[in-house]
Amino acid sequence: MDLIQSIIIAIVEGLTEFIPVSSTGHMIIAEKLLKIPGNDFTKVFTVAIQLGAILAVVVLYYKKFFDFKKWQLYLKLIIGVVPALVLGALFSDRIDAMLESTTTVAIALLAGGIVLLFIDNVFKNQRINTDEKISFLNAFIIGIWQCLAMIPGVSRSAASIIGGMQQKLTRSAAAEFSFLLAVPTMAAATGYKLLKHYKTSGGFTSAEVKLLLVGNLVAFVVALLAIRFFISFLKKYGFRVWGIYRIILGLILLLLIYTGYISA
């Protein structure tokens, strides 16, 4: 992976992290199209630069993050991230293997797209519209839903937002809690990936450190713009548009795999 490739992947990450289309899936597609080797560092990069995008949430929601009087929000986020920590540790190798599978991404995009076509009509009478009204049990169940995103192509934001709506959160409240929950989730995932790579590979080269720093910076800047867009778009149009997009992309991806243009 060279610098230009890392910037392209980071732009893709920043644009897609907070919309329900799977940032990991899009990065895998971009890596295949750019012919980036699927080595250990590429897998680390794919996870680690998501932290840059997630940190944009801290900046945009700093009043919530640094309001220490609302200690219950921190506890809810901790409870919400527990399922991902447990399952991520147990199935780390299998998750890494799926990061190489474009077919998995295509199928997940299609399945998720079909779900998003109907999700706005499934969950009605939403009553929880602020994080203060979210219970600890709500947070834990949303965290379980979030674990579906360990399958590349599912989308962490889609899984956790749908989980929130299933727990009676409004669309905007579910999206906001999904963003907040992403911070400890991706911080833990990035830390784990970096530590694992450091132990198995003996550290990072200066070139790899440069790629990680540039990638995170680009993802952070792009994500700052993308978050505001998604919240306003979601309130106005719901999920159906994203469902159609996912289905079209999934079908195109399967065609590219079938024709041998990209590897399965």
pLDDT digits (tens, 9 = 90+) for 135-178: 999 999 999 999 998 888 898 888 999 999 999 998 888 988 99
Strands of 118-229 (E only): list them.
none
Q: What's the whole-model pTM score?
A: 0.84
pLDDT digits (tens, 9 = 90+) for 60-93: 888 887 887 878 999 999 999 999 989 888 887 7
pLDDT digits (tens, 9 = 90+) for 190-244: 888 888 888 888 888 899 999 999 999 999 999 988 887 777 777 777 788 889 9
Sign of CA dihedral 251, 256, 259, 264: negative
pLDDT digits (tens, 9 = 90+) for 112-124: 999 999 887 888 7
Spatial distance between the Cα atoms of 209 and 199, rounded to a whole number of angstroms? 15
Q: Closest Cα to residue 7, out of 206, 215, 212, 225? A: 215
Half-sphere exposure of 235 (CA within 13 A, CB side): 9
Contact call for residues 247 and 80 (beta carbons, < 8 A): no
pLDDT at 217: 94
Strands of the chain (E only): list them.
none
Report CA-CA distances (Å) from 62 to 66, 133, 240: 6, 20, 30
pLDDT at 51: 86
pLDDT digits (tens, 9 = 90+) for 170-195: 888 898 899 889 888 888 888 888 88
